[in-house]
Amino acid sequence: MSLSLKNYDPTVERHFKGHKKTITNITFHPDNLKVATSSLDNTFMVCNFNKTMRANRFIGHKEAVYDVAYAPSGEVVATASKDRTVRIWVPTLKGESLDFQAHSSTVRSVQFSPDGEKLITASDDKIVKLWKVCLRRFLASFVGHTHWVRSAKFSPDGRLIVSCSDDKTIKLWEISSGKCIKTFHELKDPAIDVEFHPTGAAIGTANTGGSVKIYDLRSGLMNQHYHAHTGPVNKAKFHPNGNFMLTASDDGSMKVLDLLEGRPIYTLKGHCGAVTAVTFSPTGEFFASGGYDQQLLIWKTNFDNDDIVKDVKQRNLYSPSVKNKSNKSSQDTNNENNQDEENKQDNQQDINDKLEYSPDFEDLSDNEELQNDDEILTDQCEKIKELPTCQIEVINTRNSEKREQGYVNIETVSTIKLNESTNTSQTRTAILEKLSEQVDSIKDMIVILEKRLTTVEEELKN
């Protein structure tokens, strides 16, 4: 069976195995040549795309590892575990690591800030916490959820944090003040995963009811809603260009959503059982999926080639948030970037100085017990020779007659009720700012509708 269906269809490029239990999360190295996975088997693994290098498994946590994240530098990995700790690793053959007890209950989520200096963690203790990486120093708590916090992520500019909880809320936090500045309420099913759109102007959520939602942060309203799956959606990840979303579900499938057209364009199957983790590479050229079957598949994206062929440079769903735009001069920006790079190098050196050798590192290439299992070792870092046990299936719905449309909310203007007793300049300013944000949101939606009409016209011509 050929994996390549069309020029723009996703294809499986590699197949890795080695975990002994369900894969819980996946993260790409910034250079696109490595991928790290966390698992319920208490370990995380680093798989190399280089065929001459074998995968390494790192042992240190006492219980399941729920999340794994590369630092922006690619030199450090952070893991979050059910044992209530966070570990920071230098994923080399020495297996150096340090750990700290981050929460009083299971740690579900961990992520580095865009500058690599901070960590954000989320836990079953209902708290989101901010940490200084090089010192393992606690910086702040974000308290407001009333149930387990499943995920917490930084905004692209590092100024905001978004978190989702089993209390059926999604909260937006301002780091500088430590306050919750916006709360989105789920009426039926809670969100399991949440992340920012690459522009920082929206957030996407994966819900237990099988749906995926996108919220506009300026209007504070839901803009898109997809009934994507028949089972809980475990992950929902934006493509780096912001025009697509990839989802993973307990129903055993993944879906690719075209956010500009507002519909699913691919259904992907390749795992036996639930698909528990997906993510895009930093460039968007690849994406990875992992599941209950303990297998990791690396896919070539391909479907974003359509934009490249058509030379669509500004096919953006959302324009960057006004708050994220900087008025600094180019010279100031360059100076700031140089200073940030120096700080990253200093922080990395501080981490390396503090790390101690961990005897709990396990190199698959040197472990005699695992070497006896040739199927695990020889297939791990080589290009896939045979299909996994489950058949790879790529269903292209781009040209299907019956299109499964996602709900798009274009009624973004909410009614502003004025209190007759308040007529201060501060109130008027706040109202004008709110109206300005809503006008920007309407402009974005008009642009989306215009592009959709253009797409439909082109299809009718063809």
Distance CA 221, CA 399 (A): 30
Distance CA 155, CA 87 (A): 23
Give the per-residue pLDDT at 441.
67
Q: Percentage of the chain surpassing pLDDT 90?
A: 56
Distance CA 367, CA 276 (A): 28
The DSSP 8-state label assigned to residue 136 in this structure reads T
Distance CA 251, CA 21 (A): 18
Residue type, 88: I
Give the per-residue pLDDT at 320.
56
pLDDT digits (tens, 9 = 90+) for 158-177: 999 999 999 999 999 999 99
Position 213 pLDDT exceeds 90: yes
**344 and 116 in contact (C-beta within 8 Å)?**
yes
- What value, to the nearest 5°, has the Cα angle with vertex 328 and ends 325 and 329? 130
Position 290 pLDDT exceeds 90: yes
What's the chain's Rg over C-alpha atoms?
22
Q: Please name the helix (run of DSSP H) or strand (run of DSSP E) that holds residue 341, with its range, or none.
A: helix 330-354
Distance CA 389, CA 338 (A): 49
Taking residues 328-356, report their average pLDDT.
Answer: 49
Distance CA 53, CA 26 (A): 19
Distance CA 142, CA 129 (A): 6
Give the per-residue pLDDT at 389.
63
Distance CA 191, CA 170 (A): 8
Distance CA 404, CA 462 (A): 21
**398 and 459 in contact (C-beta within 8 Å)?**
no
- The contacts of residue 95 (CB under 8 Å, 6+ apart) are 58, 89, 357, 358, 360, 361, 362, 363
Taking residues 126-148, report their average pLDDT.
Answer: 94
Distance CA 456, CA 453 (A): 5
β-pairing, 295-300 with 286-291? antiparallel
Distance CA 350, CA 26 (A): 26
Mean pLDDT over each residue of the chain, to the nearest integer: 80
**Residue 91 token pair:** 């994923």
Within 10 A of 425 (CB to CB), how many other CB atoms are there?
7
Taking residues 58-73, report their average pLDDT.
Answer: 96
Distance CA 176, CA 218 (A): 19
What are the beta bridge partners of residue 18? none
- Using alpha carbons, list the distances in angstroms from residue 461 to 7, 448, 457: 21, 20, 6
Query: 93-102, 105-114, 117-126, 204-213 — which is least confidently predicted?
Result: 93-102
Position 365 pLDDT exceeds 70: no
- What value, to the nearest 5°, has the Cα angle with vertex 120 and ends 117 and 123? 155
**153 and 27 in contact (C-beta within 8 Å)?**
no
- The contacts of residue 261 (CB under 8 Å, 6+ apart) are 452, 455
329 pLDDT band, cuts 50/70/90, is: very low
Position 199 pLDDT exceeds 90: yes
- The contacts of residue 195 (CB under 8 Å, 6+ apart) are 151, 153, 162, 203, 204, 236, 237, 238
Distance CA 223, CA 357 (A): 49
Give the per-residue pLDDT at 97.
86
Give the per-residue pLDDT at 164.
98
Distance CA 132, CA 119 (A): 6
Please report, for the chain, the start and end positions of each structural domain, with discontinuous segments joined by +.
Answer: 11-308, 432-461
CATH 2.40.50.140 fits 11-308, yes or no: no
Distance CA 58, CA 295 (A): 17
354 pLDDT band, cuts 50/70/90, is: very low
326 pLDDT band, cuts 50/70/90, is: very low
**222 and 280 in contact (C-beta within 8 Å)?**
no
* Cα 450 off chain centre by: 28
Compute φ and ψ for 59, nearest 5 degrees.
-115, 130
Count of CA atoms in the C-beta half-sphere (13 A) of 426: 1
Give the per-residue pLDDT at 37.
98
Could you tell me the strand order of the sheet in which 263-269 lies? 233-238, 244-249, 254-258, 263-269, 393-396
Taking residues 181-195, report their average pLDDT.
Answer: 94
Q: Percentage of the chain surpassing pLDDT 70?
A: 71
